[in-house]
Amino acid sequence: MASNAYRNGTPKPALKPLTANFRSSSSKSRVIPSHVTGSAHRRSSTGSFGPSGPGDDGVPGRVRVAVRLRPRNAEELMADADFADCVELQPELKRLKLRKNNWDADTYEFDEVLTEFASQKRVYEVVAKPVVESVLDGYNGTVMAYGQTGTGKTFTLGHLGYDDTSARGIMVRAMEDILADVCPETDSVSVSYLQLYMETIQDLLDPTNDNIPIVEDPKTGDVSLPGATLIEVRDHMSFLELLRIGETHRIAANTKLNTESSRSHAILMIHVKRSVSGQEDVVSSGIENSSHLVKPLRPLVRRSKLVLVDLAGSERIHKSGSEGHMLEEAKSINLSLSALGKCINALAENSPHVPVRDSKLTRLLKDSFGGSARTSLVVTIGPSPRHRGETCSTILFGQRAMKVENMLKIKEEFDYKSLSRKLEIQVDKLIAENERQQKAFDDEVERINQEAQCRISEVERNFAEALEKEKINCQMEYMESVKKLEEKMTMNQHDGFISKRNGEKLGASVSEDIAELKRLLQNELQLRKQAEEEANKLKSQLDQFLQSAAGGDAEVIKLHKKLEDDANEKKKMEEEIMILKSQLLHLNLEADQTRRHIDRGGSGNGFTSLDSLMSQYKHSQFSESTNGHKPPMASLFEQVGLQKVLQLLESEDANVRIHAVKVVANLAAEEANQEQIVEAGGLTSLLMLLRSYEDETVRRVAAGAIANLAMNEANQELIMAQGGISLLSMTAADAEDPQTLRMVAGAIANLCGNDKLQAKLRSEGGIKALLGIVRCGHPDVLSQVARGIANFAKCESRASTKGIKSGRSLLIEDGALPWIVQNANNEAAPIRRHIELALCHLAQHEVNTKDMISGGALWELVRISRDCSREDIRNLARKTLNSSLTFRAEMRRLRIEC
């Protein structure tokens, strides 16, 4: 864990409030260590309550306080008509005056003064946005609203803004900024929503969890709530739904000060986990000055927390009119707020003891006041002179809070687990690639060695033959010379009577013979010398050949380098192709939106019966959602009737036909209507539209209606019996509109989930049609295709397990495996999830394993078993790999551990 902190050394401010301006880098002024390169980018924020200016106090860790004035309500306009407001605002000077009487007033200064005309957006930007930016950079942050009951705390902090988006509160706007800044692939955002009621912490997202304990770390002193519900948030709409659920469970009551007064403190905790990368280490290789080895980036994890607190209103019992149980609630609220005020007083006065344990509220806010969080406080007041005492106490609370300083800390830790997983996969791939390259290199060296041995053997054989021939020739010549010499000596012995003169002649002849013999011996020596030179020459040629064979290693290395350069170039081209494809998809989406807009804005012909039926149907749906019961079917068709609508499907007027098919499609979306539509011949009519009409709108809506009907198992057999899959396949081959293809793919995907229709679906071209639809490239279309393939693979797996089916998968036979492997790690979560499930089902049967190994599916199964976000799919992939003998043998060969 890497922790970095700082505290400003300037003295604390006096009782007079500080000026409003301060520097925007207050929570980011520390120097980031050199080993961190992936930290969040610097934001050009304007600070907590305004841009930096000459009056900046330079205290980075101080609690920032803003005051917001609520406009007069109708009751105050009538009751205080003859009295002036007790509060006078001077926003340009960040100053507030509280009147004592007509000639005297107390002046207070805050970090920001917001008038009754201040918008919700401005309140968020000056109060909460700097805190949110600090949270995104890794710091803890707190935004809290304090004030009298009915002064607008809940409106400022927690208003959802369903009807008017400009009225959204700080909670909604903060989550919008957080979700816009985080990366869904590497970061996560989780939410807990609690209330503190009568000194009991309750879970607003799970009302049964009504007594959550507070746990404090004995080493660091950090406070946590491990028993609270923690829900991960992916999009803005799901967060709004969580807030809506929490608000329905929050306790409120009607008092004299407010018609719906909060009787509990609401606490929203947003936990942000962000992944950043550390700096890469560079080590010289020692081969060349320009070459280096780069170690992989070290991932860092930053965990921060944003706490948004909507305090219950401080109130006086005689003004609120609380009685009975409400009186006990008011006492509990006032006691917790009093404990909070005591803690702030102790912190402001540097008291050696801070009574944090007097209340659960102060324990929860231990990090916000005097801790390590960046804190902003907005105090809300009313203008009425009747509540001058409450307004004064609220202002003094804010003044004391401005004296509190926090030590801002950022915590970083190395994400060793994700780094280990990535490195393991990378090492496995490198090992397999190295084995392939090593085998190819060994084969090449073996071939070169064999060629060299053949050439050496041939040279040695030729040399031995030539040497042997030369030796035989020399021996023959030597024997012939000796034989001649012996003959001459024999002749000389028989001629013993030869005279002295003849003896001299004989001596001369012998001398000549000896000279001739010496000459022959010299010739023999020269021939031997020439043979030795030839042998040395052949040996030198052999050495040169061996050196050239050794130089083959360098050639192989050059060849590998060239292949790597080609692979990098190919990768760059693939990235450019992906960028172009994304641009094309974006243009297609814009074209679809324009086409739908044109369709919605079509001619207003007088199709009163169909329009009335559409309006009745929508009204019935609205009634169902609001009243909780469904109107009878007869009330929907009492003016036009289903049979007449089906007759209009055959109308010659294109507009009438389009309206009719839209009505049928809307009715088919309800399961209760599907049986009547099929009995009335609606399915046959929709299939006829697919067969006969070329209008894109008609085909799209008809395909959507068939997809709705195909969700019912009874209708699936009827669709197949009437040739529906053939018509859908023809439509898939002809259509180009992404919405039409999405409807067709959805219908085929629903049919793929029926065990009884597998063989017929494949024989009539259903799988081929799904694979042909992928040419569109639209994510929604590909999601439906992936769902169909997953359904088909699941049905095949069940049939094989029961012994009904044997042999290879029909998906593999129809060539679906390459597309499945290519999209197993698709960026779109729905596509990736369905494809991962399909791979697991295909791998469950041994007959498919060889095709999957040769097609590259084994690597994807290993990745799924390690990195899949869904635990059930991850466990299924791991179980499949461990149960297959073929997969286990291949993994042992490649040295892969699952």
**Residues placed in the known binding site for ATP:** 147-154
Of 760, 698, 694, nearest to 725 (Cα)?
Answer: 760
Please state, in angstroms and rounded to a whole number, the distance separating the CA atoms of residues 813 and 799.
17
State how far the Cα of 142 lies from the Cα of 290, in Å rounded to an integer: 50
The span from the CA of 76 to the CA of 206, in Å, is 39
Measured distance CA(282)–CA(280) in Å, rounded: 7
CA 739/CA 737 separation, integer angstroms: 6
Label the pairing between strands 112-114 and 64-69.
Answer: parallel
> Please, is 297 exposed, middle or buried when counting C-beta atoms within 10 Å of its C-beta (0-12, 13-18, 19+)?
middle
Burial class (CB within 10 angstroms; exposed 0-12, middle 13-18, buried 19+) of 490: exposed
Torsion over CA of 829, 832, 833 and 834, rounded to 10 degrees? Answer: 130
Element (H, E) at 825: none
Type and span of the H or E element at 143: strand 141-147
The alpha carbon of 499 is separated from its chain's Cα centroid by a whole number of angstroms, namely 125
Look up residue 65 and give its two tokens. 């306080």
Task: Please write down the long-range contacts of 286-293, taking CB distance under 8 Å and 24 or more positions apart.
Answer: none
The bridge status of strand 265-277 relative to strand 299-310 is antiparallel
Q: In angstroms, rounded to a whole number, what is the distance separating the alpha carbons of residues 285 and 136?
A: 39
The C-alpha atoms of residue 701 and residue 708 are separated, in whole angstroms, by 11
Residue with tokens 């259903």: 766
Give the residue ranges of the annotated binding site: 147-154
CA distance 453 to 439: 21
Cα angle, residue 323 at apex, residues 319 and 324 outer, rounded to 5°: 160
For residue 522, how many other CB atoms are within 10 A of its CB? 10
Q: What is the DSSP string of 200-224?
A: EEEESS-TT---PPPEE-TTT--EE
> Can you tell me the distance from the alpha carbon of 311 to that of 149, in angstroms, rounded to the nearest whole number?
10
Which helix (H) or strand (E) covers residue 96, if one does? strand 95-99
Token pair of 186 as six digits:
């590497």
Instruction: For residue 88, list its beta bridge partners.
Output: 97
For residues 422 and 418, what is the distance between their CA atoms, to the nearest angstrom? 6
Among 598, 453, 38, 26, smallest CA distance to 279 is for: 38
Element (H, E) at 601: none
Count CA within 13 A, CB hemisphere, residue 660: 22
Q: Is 445 exposed, middle or buried (0-12, 13-18, 19+ CB in 10 A)?
A: middle
Sign, CA dihedral 143-148-152-154, equals positive
Element (H, E) at 108: strand 105-109
3-state helix, strand, coil in the chain (%, to 5): 55, 10, 30
**Coil/strand/helix, residue 453:** helix
Instruction: Dump strand ranges (E) for 398-536.
Output: 408-414
Three-state secondary structure call for residue 30: coil
CB 113 within 8 A of CB 96: yes
How far, in Å, are 201, 429, 825 from residue 851 at the CA level? 57, 19, 19
Residues 6+ apart with CB under 8 A from 872: none
